[in-house]
Amino acid sequence: MSEGSNRTGRCLCGAVKFEASNVSKSLGACHCSMCRHWTGGPFLAVDCGTEVKFTGEANITVFSSSDWADRGFCKKCGSNLFYRLKGIEQYQIPPGLFDDDRGLEFNHQVFVDERPDYYEFANKTSDMTGPEVYAKYAPPND
């Protein structure tokens, strides 16, 4: 699967479906405390860019989890649908929602300094700590 490919997917109950037009093949894990509270473990996600179309939008609830991101979920079945950067509307979507998740490469992890001691992935990945993530991606304070 090439970089920038199309993928479709859905929540557990099918009330929310999506089509993403610019999906990365890179899969990452976030170990921050917010993601772990949200998912019950690390948040695995694929960058789907800004071209994501949803059907069943009436079934999506959005939680503003920080100044820079929203988290969406299905209000019928509770599936975590996306992590979305505010302002640029860039979506990170869990790979388990894709109809076809073949061809993804698990190659990066963020907030590795917050990863609990009880798990560690065997894959060789590019790792960033929380301060490194904030330095690279946080919006400037005006």
pLDDT digits (tens, 9 = 90+) for 65-103: 999 899 999 999 999 999 999 999 999 999 999 999 999
Q: For residues 112 and 42, is the Cβ–Cβ distance under 8 A?
A: no
Q: How confident is the model at residue 134 (pLDDT cuts 50, 70, 90)?
A: confident
Paired residues of 85 in beta bridges: 69, 90
Query: Does residue 133 or residue 98 have the better pLDDT?
Result: 98
The answer to whether position 16 is within a domain reads yes
Number of domains into which the chain is organized: 1
The answer to whether position 134 is within a domain reads no
3-state secondary structure of 63: strand
The answer to whether position 131 is within a domain reads no
The answer to whether position 139 is within a domain reads no
**Residues 62, 7: Cα–Cα separation, whole Å:** 22
- State the virtual CA torsion across 4, 68, 43, 14 in degrees, nearest 10: -70
CATH number of the domain at 79, please: 2.170.150.70
Amino acid at 24: S
Q: How confident is the model at residue 141 (pLDDT cuts 50, 70, 90)?
A: low
Tokens of 96: 């388990």
The reported pLDDT for the residue numbered 1 is 44
Its domain, for residue 39, covers 5-123
